Amino acid sequence: MANSRLGLRTRPGLVRTYTEGALGGDPDAVAFLNAANITNATIITAINELVVALKDYGIWTKMKSIYPFVGGSASSHRFNLKDARDLDAAYRLVFSGGWTHASTGAAPNGTTGYADTFLTLSAAGSFNNMHMSYYSRTNNAGSASFKVEMGRGDGSGGSYANLYLRGDGSNTFGGSLGSKSCNSTNTNSACFGMISATSSTSLKSYKNGAVDTTNTGTQTNTSSTTLSIFIGSQGNSTIATNFTDRECAFASIGDGLNDTEAANLYTAVQTFQTTLGRQV
């Protein structure tokens, strides 16, 4: 009988067994770890636990891109956990401008740093079925230029998608999808923020897995077929704008998540960060 190792967690209270020597266990985790050239045992465990938890929660299939920012370098941080090929079509990141890459995540410099996901607004789902999330390890104030953690917009076409954790001097928290937005205030940008739409009349912002604001108005815009989402800024139709300087330790884009799924995503991501010793 093959040796096995225990302790790779799924949801609280569940344990899975993996054959000794199998790198990370889950095949999607293995593909990512190989692509990112990860050999650190703690990261291997953390990535495997994250993938297994997302699958157990039924969230994995809703994801288009997942960026766990492990390995401490631009070359490892660029890979999409959902599709680890080094291709634009796999939505791997291309970093531009100033970034600091570390074991704790990737930090844009707040003036020129952003990453192109190559995932267009339309491919991400639609403004009626889409989410974006960003795990920030940095608590600082907003700015007059309005800090945006991720998004893309075309004012002339009315296609907007963004997420901000403390955007301006009023500490605005929330985001927009199309014609709709959710806004509140937040005094700590070291958090896990998400914007999610599950229908034309349901847009919600979430902080650390809990509902923050709800907008039940009707969506009137459609998503752009050509504009790809940026991380570290919001771009307009031609350039990156509204840069943030908050270190990112996880980001995701995909279909809309409901309240239960949002809470489960936070649980999975927070467990992942805790395993790595970089939780906030």
Please check whether residue 23 lies inside any domain of the structure. Answer: no
Assigned token pair, 45: 């465990």
pLDDT, tens only, 79-125? 999 999 999 999 999 999 999 999 999 999 999 999 999 999 999 98
With beta carbons less than 8 A apart as the criterion, state whether 100 and 109 touch. Answer: yes
Domain that holds residue 71: 60-265
- Residue 11's pLDDT band (cuts 50, 70, 90): very low
CATH number at residue 247: 2.60.120.200
pLDDT value, residue 1: 32
Burial class of residue 166, CB neighbours in 10 A (0-12, 13-18, 19+): buried
How many folded domains does the chain comprise?
Answer: 1
pLDDT value, residue 154: 78
Per-residue CA distances from 269 to 134, 142, 228 (Å): 10, 25, 24
Please check whether residue 39 lies inside any domain of the structure. Answer: no
Smallest CA-to-CA distance from 204 within 233, 225, 224, 184 is with 184
- Residue 155's pLDDT band (cuts 50, 70, 90): low
Please check whether residue 121 lies inside any domain of the structure. Answer: yes
CA distance 215 to 134: 20
The mean per-residue pLDDT over the stretch 208-221 comes to: 96
pLDDT, tens only, 26-55? 999 999 999 999 999 999 999 999 999 999
The answer, yes or no, to whether residue 3 has pLDDT greater than 50, is no
For the entire predicted model, the pTM comes to: 0.92
pLDDT value, residue 159: 77
* Residue labelled with tokens 């020129």: 112
The mean per-residue pLDDT over the stretch 187-199 comes to: 98
The mean per-residue pLDDT over the stretch 223-244 comes to: 93
* Residue labelled with tokens 């401008």: 97
The answer, yes or no, to whether residue 213 has pLDDT greater than 80, is yes
The mean per-residue pLDDT over the stretch 123-148 comes to: 96
CA distance 16 to 278: 24
Please check whether residue 84 lies inside any domain of the structure. Answer: yes
The mean per-residue pLDDT over the stretch 54-79 comes to: 98
Please check whether residue 43 lies inside any domain of the structure. Answer: no
Assigned token pair, 168: 């301006």
Per-residue CA distances from 192 to 117, 120, 132, 138 (Å): 19, 23, 11, 11
Please check whether residue 180 lies inside any domain of the structure. Answer: yes
CA distance 7 to 144: 47
CA distance 257 to 194: 10
Please check whether residue 44 lies inside any domain of the structure. Answer: no
The answer, yes or no, to whether residue 160 has pLDDT greater than 90, is no
pLDDT value, residue 156: 60
Collapsing DSSP states into helix, strand and coil, what is residue 88?
A: helix
Collapsing DSSP states into helix, strand and coil, what is residue 155?
A: coil
Which comes out higher in pLDDT, residue 184 or 9? 184
The answer, yes or no, to whether residue 17 has pLDDT greater than 50, is no
- Residue 259's pLDDT band (cuts 50, 70, 90): very high
pLDDT value, residue 254: 98
CA distance 91 to 236: 19
pLDDT value, residue 40: 97
The mean per-residue pLDDT over the stretch 206-232 comes to: 95
Please check whether residue 91 lies inside any domain of the structure. Answer: yes
Mean pLDDT of the chain: 91
pLDDT value, residue 4: 30
With beta carbons less than 8 A apart as the criterion, state whether 132 and 194 touch. Answer: yes
Assigned token pair, 263: 């809470």
